[in-house]
Structure 1
Amino acid sequence: MKAFENDLVLNGDRIIEHQPAISDKTLRLNLNKNIYGTFSEIGAGQETVRHFFRSGGSSRTIAKAMSAYDKQFSDAIYTTETDGRYVTESRLKKMINHETHLMEERLNREDNPDRIYFSYANTVATIDFAKKFKGHGWVGIRFQTKPTGEYNEIILHIQFKENDVRLQQQTLGILGVNLIYGAFYQHNDPKKLIEHLYDHLDKDQLEIDTINFSGPNFKDVDNRLMSLFLVKNKMASAVMFAPNGQNILPANTLFRQNILILRGSFRPVTVVNMNMYENSLKQFLERNPVAKENTKVIFEMTLNNLLKEGELDEQDFIDRAELLCSLGQTVMISNFREYYKVVDYLAQYSNEKIALSIGATNLLDIFDESYYSNLSGGIFEALGKLFNRNLEIYIYPTKKDDDTIVNSHNLETRNTKIQVLYDYFKNENQIIDIKEYEVKNLNIFSHEVLEKIKNNEKDWELFLPESVANIIKEKQLFT
């Protein structure tokens, strides 16, 4: 029999980690007499539990396996959802909580005092017949690591990328085994657990765009760092987290919302950043027939602007996240270098109005041909994708060394031919100047403020919102 543990194998100059077969993982779980639980799978067959049945010894592990496919049966067991949907995080949590409660109620721990319980569930919609929607789902596990101990939870959301129902079912089954195995044998290293969710899977089969760890074994886990790990390792194109630090599903957050997105390094958040946010939002609401309560503001950090000297500094990222969360902002981390890609991404989840708020110098990058050498249609294709939804770009001015203020009216692109394109979108009122700003703030640059903080210069607080400055001092951020 193959070794169960991940063996280090020398392959040329690389040391690679051996992945136990899926059957080995299920057999190891089945042979552990103390691991015992339920499987509840809705929407894509009983793809996870079948691996346990096939590997042998499943009676030691499986207390119950069920699929409540009929909506009336499902509602009778797990109650109804207020929005009427079934593939939701709320539904998944009801399934897990319900099955855990039944285990605790029906099983006598005195007969098996060393047992640790788990409840695995998924609720999934696979690809539709028209192949328009590829499908998605929620997958999770509630589990103990000690008999009668408190429960931990791992909840994740997946997007299928395959175009065949059977392939998606197989993918879901493998993912489920990897999750259960990781919960019991890799919970001490959440990053390793996430990485091994892709054992015997490829990243072109599914994307994990949300994951949250909770419970006593994960009390020191920062779910924002788990988001960052997903993007860094190309398991997700983008992730979002709320002001409370919990990862949130982009599809739910952006559904039927107008969107204003601000991209930056936010290292740290300056008065300029907040001025851009407040005044571009104000103009966005004035110019368009949209309500503030139906408008979502997103502060976006790309993986590129999180890199520091070629390496990703997690503490630096957390410092920035702390500040944005303290301001009550929703944060997105993405792999999107080009602006048209982030707009394409947002448009997947909302058919409403989308706008960008950027500085004048960043606008020059949008009209720089060198950014689009990978596109067959070059800059024309990129701008077509960017502006095809009547996108609005709100421009915050900058100031030259001779004190000339540069805005959309006197901005000059680096190419005369491209200037014609720029002028076209400007005349179509898709490039709009932010009207309210303070000239004195145009000399504020976050990298200079950061140096002042690091050098402990006394005047750095003047360039930041008061609440941000207080948090930096209180928590000694960026030091």
Structure 2
Amino acid sequence: MSLVLKRDTAFENIPSIKAKTLRINLNPDIYGTFAEIGAGQETARHFFRAGGASGTIAKAMSAYDKEFSDAIYGVEADGRYVTQPRLKTMLSHEMRLMEERITRDKHPDRLFFSYANTVATIDFSKRYKGHGWLGIRFQLEPDQKEFDEIILHVRFKQTEARLQQETLGIIGVNLIYGAFYKYHKPRKLLKYLYDHIDKDTIEIDMVNFSGPNFKGVDNRLMSLQLIRNGMTDAVMFGPDGNNLLPAAKLYKKNILALRGSFRPVTKVNMDMLKKSYNIFVRDRAVDESKAIVIFEITLSNLKADGEIDERDFMDRAELLCSMGHTVMISNFQEYYKLVEYFNNYTKAKIGLTMGVNNLVDIFDEKYYRHLSGGILEAFGKLFFKELQVYLYPMKNPETGQIMTSNNIKVHPRMKELYKFFKYNGKVMDIIDYDTEIMDIFSRDVFKKIVNNEEGWEDSLPEGIADIIKEKKLFTRERDIDMK
């Protein structure tokens, strides 16, 4: 019998961890394996203790010794164990064994799953807080050939290994329970991952849904939910629309970040990127083979018109991904927080491409009143030794004057501070800008698109206008899966 017919209508209040495990254990169809590496068998333990585990658990195992692990799952190309490829290898291996060893003629109604995690908890010196990958591969129909899959990456915030292990066990139960009983509501499934867990104890900074029952789920939209729900401060996704782990993408990289609304992306945005990138990679400190470009949109930018319009967000993402770019959504309104975040993963050179207005805002004290050290504390984090600002000029709409680092107006109290950073080479003007596009503003283009006016197409990079028209982006006619 299909589990699709058994969607969760009971348990309106949050069920306890024991109630969740017991409900799964008492379901005669759900049957699978647990493979947990690095933090004990914490998830399987909950199922064993709830009672009736023999109806759910075909096998539970841990392969802590690296040679044992390699003998079972093979050697990863990078030789590491706490990685997404390792997790996927574990899920594939265990599911294959399920299909080989549990015959369908004896168990026609069984719904197979494999749950796995590979984790590094906090070390004895407490320098590394710990992180891990966990996921489930499962089916919701006995004859389902292509499996569904949910994969998460987590970062521990607790300072004791025992507490991290307990948290991992709970989130594992929540994931398995959500996979079978909340799969049709992926947004709520994400929220339920924190059932009986304080958000201060663990961060979820990546999630990907895949499989036939998640075909309508856009993982970029799921990334946005992680930010909105306070589960993490930054998420990333690639041109294919799948979410990326920021730590893996940024690790030891030379980073060039361009912040904007990209509503829509214009010729000015692309000229800013092209010209600043050329300067960036000419720097002796930059290894171009290890350089990455990030298009960053802040959560506050997405809320510019009030509440977040998810269709509007998806339209921006659609265009940037179609151009082959990597996108970051962050909760860092202030630039120094963005740089601080990058510094967690790289000590290589960081470049920030911005317009004149953005630079003026950086020197506005109102953004730093919450810091005990005020603007000086923020600048100590922002203008560290390997950071440089690439400034794109702006035409003054009233006077026609081209505004650069040499003639911008900052608050009188900030003049000397500004001069200090400018004349120490932290701010570099982009001088070979395209003079023909200085009058293009994305807000004007957006208004014309929304009002169905003419004459906006030439303001956009080649092919972008066609995509907007074909997919009806930035209009109410477009619909996306809002589950």
Please report the TM-score for the alignment, with normalisation by the length of structure 1: 0.96
Q: Give the equivalent residue in structure 2 for 1:257.
A: 253
Among 109, 114, 134, which residue is 2:104 paired with? 109
- Per the alignment, in what secondary structure is the counterpart of residue 63 of structure 1? strand
Q: Give the equivalent residue in structure 2 for 1:465.
A: 461
Structure 2: gaps (5+ residues): 1-7, 476-483
2: CA distance between counterparts of 1:303 and 1:38? 39
2: CA distance between counterparts of 1:472 and 1:165? 50
- Per the alignment, in what secondary structure is the counterpart of residue 260 of structure 1? strand
2: CA distance between counterparts of 1:63 and 1:258? 46
Q: What is the CA deviation profile of residues 59-88 of structure 1, one whole-angstrom value per residue up to 9, with x for unaligned ones? A: 000000000000000000000011110000
Among 29, 41, 50, which residue is 1:46 paired with? 41
Q: Give the equivalent residue in structure 2 for 1:11.
A: none
- Per the alignment, in what secondary structure is the counterpart of residue 204 of structure 2? strand
2: CA distance between counterparts of 1:308 and 1:117? 45
- Cα displacement (A) at 1:367: 0.5
**Residue type of the alignment partner of 1:267:** R
**Residue type of the alignment partner of 2:208:** N
1:271-350 aligned at under 5 Å gives the runs 271-350=267-346
- Are 1:211 and 2:211 an aligned pair? no
Mapped contact 1:4–1:28 kept (Cα < 8 A): no
- Cα displacement (A) at 1:417: 2.3
2: CA distance between counterparts of 1:457 and 1:438? 25
Q: Give the equivalent residue in structure 2 for 1:71.
A: 66
Mapped contact 1:260–1:355 kept (Cα < 8 A): yes
Q: Give the equivalent residue in structure 2 for 1:30.
A: 25
2: CA distance between counterparts of 1:72 and 1:429? 51
Q: Give the equivalent residue in structure 1 for 2:408.
A: 411
Q: What is the CA deviation profile of residues 295-326 of structure 1, one whole-angstrom value per residue up to 9, with x for unaligned ones? A: 00000001111125321111101100011001
Among 125, 130, 137, which residue is 1:142 paired with? 137
Among 6, 22, 26, which residue is 2:11 paired with? 6
Q: RMSD across aligned C-alpha pairs, in angstroms?
A: 1.1
Mapped contact 1:225–1:318 kept (Cα < 8 A): yes
1: CA distance between counterparts of 2:451 and 2:275? 32
- Cα displacement (A) at 1:328: 0.6
Q: Percent identity?
A: 60
**Residue type of the alignment partner of 1:292:** E
Mapped contact 2:286–2:348 kept (Cα < 8 A): no
**Residue type of the alignment partner of 1:106:** R
2: CA distance between counterparts of 1:393 and 1:381? 18
2: CA distance between counterparts of 1:475 and 1:456? 14
Q: Give the equivalent residue in structure 1 for 2:168.
A: 172
Q: Give the equivalent residue in structure 2 for 1:197.
A: 193
Please report the TM-score for the alignment, with normalisation by the length of structure 2: 0.95
Mapped contact 1:161–1:205 kept (Cα < 8 A): yes
Q: Give the equivalent residue in structure 2 for 1:94.
A: 89
2: CA distance between counterparts of 1:280 and 1:199? 45
- Cα displacement (A) at 1:4: 8.9
1: CA distance between counterparts of 2:67 and 2:385? 40
444-453 or 39-48, larger mean C-alpha shift: 444-453
Mapped contact 1:5–1:20 kept (Cα < 8 A): no
Q: What is the CA deviation profile of residues 72-129 of structure 1, one whole-angstrom value per residue up to 9, with x for unaligned ones? A: 0000000001111000000000000000000100112211211100000000000111
- Per the alignment, in what secondary structure is the counterpart of residue 129 of structure 2? coil
**Residue type of the alignment partner of 2:30:** I
- Per the alignment, in what secondary structure is the counterpart of residue 231 of structure 1? helix
Moved segments of 4+, more than 6 Å = none
- Per the alignment, in what secondary structure is the counterpart of residue 466 of structure 1? coil
- Cα displacement (A) at 1:474: 1.5
2: CA distance between counterparts of 1:195 and 1:26? 18
1: CA distance between counterparts of 2:472 and 2:109? 45
Among 55, 77, 81, which residue is 2:76 paired with? 81
Q: What is the CA deviation profile of residues 166-216 of structure 1, one whole-angstrom value per residue up to 9, with x for unaligned ones? A: 000000000000000000000000001000000000111111000000000
447-456 or 76-85, larger mean C-alpha shift: 447-456
Mapped contact 2:254–2:348 kept (Cα < 8 A): yes
2: CA distance between counterparts of 1:336 and 1:84? 34
Q: What is the CA deviation profile of residues 29-53 of structure 1, one whole-angstrom value per residue up to 9, with x for unaligned ones? A: 0000100000000000000000000
**Residue type of the alignment partner of 1:407:** T
Q: Give the equivalent residue in structure 1 for 2:481.
A: none
**Residue type of the alignment partner of 1:103:** M
**Residue type of the alignment partner of 1:253:** K
2: CA distance between counterparts of 1:128 and 1:291? 32
314-323 or 284-293, larger mean C-alpha shift: 284-293
- Per the alignment, in what secondary structure is the counterpart of residue 240 of structure 2? coil
Mapped contact 1:4–1:25 kept (Cα < 8 A): no
**Residue type of the alignment partner of 2:381:** K
